[in-house]
Structures are given as structure tokens and as C-alpha cells.
Amino acid sequence: MSAFAGFPPEAFQWFAGIEADNSRPWFTAHRDTYEAAVRAPLETMLDTLADELGGEVKVFRQHRDVRFSPDKSPYKTRTYGVVRDDAGGAAGLYVQVDRNGLFAGTGYHMLDGGQLARFRDAVADDGAGPALEAAIATAHAGGVETFGEALKTAPRGYPRDHPRIALLRHKALFGGRRLAPGAGGIGGDAALEHVRATRAACAPMCAWLDEHVGAAADP
């Protein structure tokens, strides 16, 4: 495996181009740039991280599934992949490259019915709930923003004035942050440090999710 050298300026220029002309002729004409400046570096980066952390790498295809979408644009305007956790955790590591730079994230981006019930029970618990608040505060202190689809009101069975109602409304919980490119793109050391630091800041939150929520019944 070759050393990860980062994402050159051509990578971000390519994303600007595919946003401006999302067509097969444009993609075909610029496919060499995509392969060399976008996909190959992302694969190398994820392989490097997988060697450090353990786990299985998956890079998703650039083509969009347009069968059930009114938007028939053939290509995604971001390229992304994951390192799945081989140590039993369900959070994994998500890395995305797009016109705005490099995004790294981790957490539980979807919860099935069983996971959601366990999540809410733990959030409502007066021991586990504050521990999650502390873990999220650690992520925020590390420059990470937390996300997750949430209900607009209290879930059934929980009072609207619950002290952790904002967390109880969540239907998913993950954290991440972005690194913007400079004139020279994003170098390899800077990119890897960004992902490692993001993962470290989110580690207490992911540990809480692994302990109290766990994997989906059908991952």
C-alpha cells in the first residue's frame, strides 16, 4: 500500500466541476482526475486508518441510485467511505470528501426500533443520561458538532419538561467536523490528524452508545 499523501487541489476542483455539470459526458471526460485525485487517496486513507484501528473498509460508489428519486442527476457530489469496527462497536468511522473539504464523523447515524428504545431508556436514566451529556460535552470541547434526526416534540411516554428532553427527541446521534482545503489541497498528515482527533473527541460518546444501545438487530 502506498503512503497516503492527502487530497490535491484537483480533487476539490473536480467536485466543483461535478456540481456545475452533473452529466455522464463531463464525468467521463474527467474520470482520470476522479480516480487519481479523489477515490484513490480516499481508499488509501481509509486503508491506513483501518490498519491502525482494525476494521473493514468500504468506499461507496459514485453513481447515485435514481430509481425512486425525482432528482435524476447520475453522480453524487461527495465521495465517502467507512471503516467498520471489528472490535464489536457499532459506531464505525465515516470519512467524506467534497467541494468544501474533508468531513470525519462517528456515532450511530441510524437507530432501529430496539436501539431507539434502549437509547431512550438510557437517556432517561438518572445515571446513564448525565453520563451521555458529559460525553457529548467532551466531543464539543474537541471541536466536534453533534447531529442526529430528532422529533419536534417529546416522544410518547416522556414528559415535555424532562431535563434531557433534547436528547430524548433524538432518533440518531453522531458527531463530526470538517477540515477545509487550502491552496495546496489537504495534506496527508493534516487529514489523518483531523480524522484521528475527531474520533478521539467522540470516543466517550461512542463508548456510551456501545454500552447502552449496541448494534442493530439487522446491521
What is the structure's pLDDT at 66?
85
Q: Is residue 142 in a domain?
A: yes
Q: Is residue 175 in a domain?
A: yes
Q: Is residue 15 in a domain?
A: yes
**Nearest in space to 46 (alpha carbons), one of 112, 99, 109, 1:** 1
Kindly report, residue by residue over 159-213, the tens digit of the pLDDT.
999 999 999 999 999 999 999 999 999 999 999 999 999 999 999 999 999 999 9
Average pLDDT over residues 61-69: 91
Average pLDDT over residues 67-81: 93
Q: Is residue 1 in a domain?
A: no
Rounded CA gap, 55 and 92, in Å? 8
**Nearest in space to 139 (alpha carbons), one of 104, 99, 163:** 104
pLDDT of 40 above 70:
yes
**Nearest in space to 11 (alpha carbons), one of 41, 38, 39:** 38
Residue 43: give its domain's CATH number. Answer: 3.30.1460.10
Count Cβ neighbours within 10 Å for each residue of 108-117 and write b for 16 or more, e otherwise: bbebeeebbe
**Nearest in space to 118 (alpha carbons), one of 132, 97, 104, 134:** 132
Q: Is residue 219 in a domain?
A: no
Range of the structural domain that residue 114 is part of: 6-212
- The count of domains in the chain is 1
**Nearest in space to 168 (alpha carbons), one of 180, 179, 157, 181:** 157
Going by the DSSP 8-state scheme, the letter that residue 103 receives in this structure is: E
Q: Is residue 217 in a domain?
A: no
Kindly report, residue by residue over 49-58, the tens digit of the pLDDT.
999 988 899 9
How many C-beta neighbours within 10 Å does residue 127 have?
A: 7
Average pLDDT over residues 132-140: 98
- What is the residue type of 208? W
